[in-house]
Structure 1
Amino acid sequence: MPISLADVLKKLCDTTGFSWWKADNIWLSLEKLKVLYVMNQPVEELWHYNCPSESFCELENLTLRNNKKLLSVFSPAMIVRFNKLKKLTLEKCELLAEVFILEGDKPNHDNQEMLPQLRVLAMSNLSKLTCFWNKEPQVPFFLNLVSLFIIHCHCLKSLFSLSQAQNLKKLKILRLCNCEKVEEVISSDKGEKVATIFPKMKCLVLKDLPKLVNFCQEGGCFNWPNLQTVRVNNIPSIKTFLRDDLNTPLLKSVYITFAKKLWLGNLNKTISYMHNNPGV
């Protein structure tokens, strides 16, 4: 049987003398837990048998770090438990290929959103990560996500489809760095054109993305009324930021080093100049 989070916590209880574990029912009651760090533990699943419906329902901060066996984080049965989760950190999980496993997921009318309170999602050094989920969620997701950090995830080719990106209406900070296979941030969606994605975006960082060719190759006018800071470095394959128009009324420069800035009137022209003048 795979080692679960319950097994790790039971071992902790046995070691420390805590009385969370109920031997007669063989489950942990964690209805008041708000912060959980699981580091250097061989957890293969968050849970592999039924647990009380109250468990994890108050959890606000979850960190999984230095794990060599975890394949995914959330299953359809468990995702409804994390409606109050505000921060999720995944770091150095060597086999993690997908964050959400939604196979066999059935519409749940009691669950109107997926991770509705999540504000910060940080993923780093996930060498096998290929996507967020194995199939399109049937409910809105990440509606309150403010900060998204993705660093050293070398199997990712894109983050979201254009239609999926419509959920991230409150995203303000996107940092995408050292992902060697990323070709576009937002993947095309069968000719769909959308006027506004990330309407609250304030800061965008794109660094060390050797295969990035475009932020989104789909046509249409992107409207980013709040974008103020753009930092780019080592993105040699990108010739232009977007194929069509991009409205960024507050953006006045692009940082190409920590302090050095460049601006040629708009983001597309600036990125194109950088591509044609790699030594700038």
Structure 2
Amino acid sequence: MKTFSQGGLRTPKLNKVQKTKKINAESLWKDDVNSTIQHMFTNMVGFDNTEDLKLSEFPEFKEKIWKSEVPDGLFYNLKSLVLDTFLESSSAIPSCVLSNLKNLETLEVRSSDALKQVFDTERPLNVNGHALKRSHKDVLNLNNLKSLKVHNCNGLRYIFTPSIILGLVQLQDIEVKNCALIEEIIRKGRENYAEIDKIFIPQLNSISLESLPSLTRFCSGINSLACPSLKSIRVARCPEIETFVFADMKHQSDHIAPLFCEKVAFPRVEEIILLHLGKLQLIWHNQLHGDSFCKLKEVRVEFCENLVTIIPSNSTQRLLTFQNLETLTVENCWNIKSLFPVSIATSLLQLKRLMLYSCSLEEIVSKGKVGLAPRFLFPQLTCLKLDNLPELKHFYMGSYTAEWSMLKELLVYQCEKLKAYALHGESQPALFSFEKI
């Protein structure tokens, strides 16, 4: 607000304007109400107590911020910042402002095709007309940042560098949507990051990546990505992504890069949602880091047309189990032949819902190398839905026994090659077998 009233206004007894509700807060008076309001706005009086700021609501701030005309400490109490209007600048937050955002918790960057970087830590700071370089540690002072959202910024190719992400020790949520050129979320830049081969994000709780047509990976050039608090991963409409951490797959005989390899340490992930990932072929491979994914409860995979399997049959046993998995949904994956090997299927003791729609599955459990006939126990499974699976012939090819003691909802539809029921002793395998009484 620049002006209190456009017309004539007399306030003979008014002698101060106070911006906040706080008792004894700073007040101001300049001749009349309109002059006072204009002075406060021009000189940013009272904004030092602001906790929430949406830049498009204060267009005059835009020029002051990028011309380094912001008083020191002005944004010290700021907790939420929405950057949705910019000058023709290559960075969302100038370095002169970054050092003042000590208490910022939420940052949203929206709708700019000119941006080349979110955090400006490389540009020299102008102090009294002189160029001064500062280290990232000095410039980037976002120790309390918990949430970062970047939407509709079509000039960005990455979000973080290793040194920036390592400085965001309280970061809990990363959300990046509708950015046409982003190739990776964390990128090693021109600077010398050879000494940084491990990235540790201690408080990160969720990652959401959506509609990023150029995204090929989350990061590369590191030996470890550890997120001990991460619970949710959502990747949707990213047709070029194949792997989370890029790794040399030449040593693999099939050269298929899994989405998650041994370089990621995600011990608390509970939910993974993968939608419309055209190049994804494999989600997990032979080995994982420590107890990664041991708490996984829900997996949903849809419209991944090149997906071959969830887990290959040659996976090393005991390194990957889904003992806490409760819900598995696979839909519109027309290259997949099986879901997982026997070693995984026999450990799904917490599985409650299994839903398979519109896929080229030939079997649910791949045979692999087993000795005696396996026994599949599903003591918690209440819902089994098989719909439009034209190539599905059996649950498991070979002799086996299965128990479905809690099954309440069963749908088998458009599965022409699958024999759902058989009497005990019949040679043709079926989904369910009954003893004749």
TM-score normalised to structure 2 length: 0.49
Name the counterpart of 2:426: none
Across the aligned residues of Structure 1 and Structure 2, the Cα RMSD in angstroms comes to: 3.5
Q: Deviations over 1:133-188 (max 9, x none)?
A: 57633533200110000000011110013537842110000000000101000147
Deviation at 1:271, TM superposition (A): 7.4
Q: Deviations over 1:176-214 (max 9, x none)?
A: 0000101000147xxxx67822211000000001x2011
SS at match of 2:92: helix
Residue 80 to residue 178, structure 1, CA distance change in 2 (3 Å): same
Alignment of 1:236-255 (within 5 A): 236-243=390-397, 244-255=400-411
Residue 169 to residue 213, structure 1, CA distance change in 2 (3 Å): same
CA–CA distance in 1 between the matches of 2:206 and 2:183? Answer: 19
1:152 maps to 2:312: no
Contact 2:223 2:263 survives alignment (8 Å): no
Contact 2:215 2:238 survives alignment (8 Å): yes
Which of the residues 126, 130, 135 maps onto 1:25? 135
Return the letter of the residue paired with 1:31.
Answer: V
Which of the residues 378, 393, 414 maps onto 1:224? 378
CA–CA distance in 2 between the matches of 1:134 and 1:18? Answer: 41
Deviation at 1:88, TM superposition (A): 0.5
CA–CA distance in 1 between the matches of 2:362 and 2:197? Answer: 47
1:99 maps to 2:250: no
CA–CA distance in 1 between the matches of 2:242 and 2:334? Answer: 16
1:64 maps to 2:212: no
SS at match of 2:236: strand
Deviation at 1:101, TM superposition (A): 3.4
Which of the residues 19, 24, 45 maps onto 2:184? 45
Which of the residues 131, 142, 150 maps onto 2:293? 142
Residue 134 to residue 159, structure 1, CA distance change in 2 (3 Å): closer
Contact 1:175 1:205 survives alignment (8 Å): yes
Deviation at 1:246, TM superposition (A): 1.9
CA–CA distance in 1 between the matches of 2:319 and 2:406? Answer: 22
SS at match of 2:171: coil
Residue 194 to residue 242, structure 1, CA distance change in 2 (3 Å): same
Larger radius of gyration, structure 1 or 2? 2
Residue 95 to residue 59, structure 1, CA distance change in 2 (3 Å): same
SS at match of 1:12: strand
Deviation at 1:47, TM superposition (A): 1.8
The sequence identity of aligned pairs, in percent, is: 18
Residue 64 to residue 271, structure 1, CA distance change in 2 (3 Å): farther
Contact 2:333 2:358 survives alignment (8 Å): yes
1:212 maps to 2:347: no
The count of residues paired between Structure 1 and Structure 2 equals 246
Name the counterpart of 1:35: 173
Residue 121 to residue 46, structure 1, CA distance change in 2 (3 Å): same
Residue 248 to residue 240, structure 1, CA distance change in 2 (3 Å): same
Q: Deviations over 1:106-139 (max 9, x none)?
A: xxxxx99820010100000001111125763353
Return the letter of the residue paired with 2:389.
Answer: I
Contact 2:339 2:366 survives alignment (8 Å): no
Return the letter of the residue paired with 2:411.
Answer: Y
SS at match of 1:216: strand
Return the letter of the residue paired with 2:349.
Answer: P
Contact 1:195 1:221 survives alignment (8 Å): no
Name the counterpart of 1:131: 282
Q: Deviations over 1:10-53 (max 9, x none)?
A: 833349x5556444334433211111101122222222224797
TM-score normalised to structure 1 length: 0.74
1:198 maps to 2:348: yes
SS at match of 2:207: strand
CA–CA distance in 1 between the matches of 2:187 and 2:285? Answer: 19
Return the letter of the residue paired with 2:406.
Answer: L
CA–CA distance in 1 between the matches of 2:232 and 2:223? Answer: 17
CA–CA distance in 2 between the matches of 1:264 and 1:134? Answer: 34
Name the counterpart of 1:167: 321
Name the counterpart of 1:73: 218
Contact 1:113 1:139 survives alignment (8 Å): no
Deviation at 1:68, TM superposition (A): 1.8
Q: Which runs of 5+ in 2 are unaligned?
A: 1-89, 102-118, 123-133, 137-162, 250-261, 368-372, 414-419, 424-428
CA–CA distance in 2 between the matches of 1:152 and 1:76? Answer: 29
Deviation at 1:216, TM superposition (A): 1.1
Which of the residues 89, 92, 101 maps onto 1:12? 92
Residue 77 to residue 194, structure 1, CA distance change in 2 (3 Å): closer
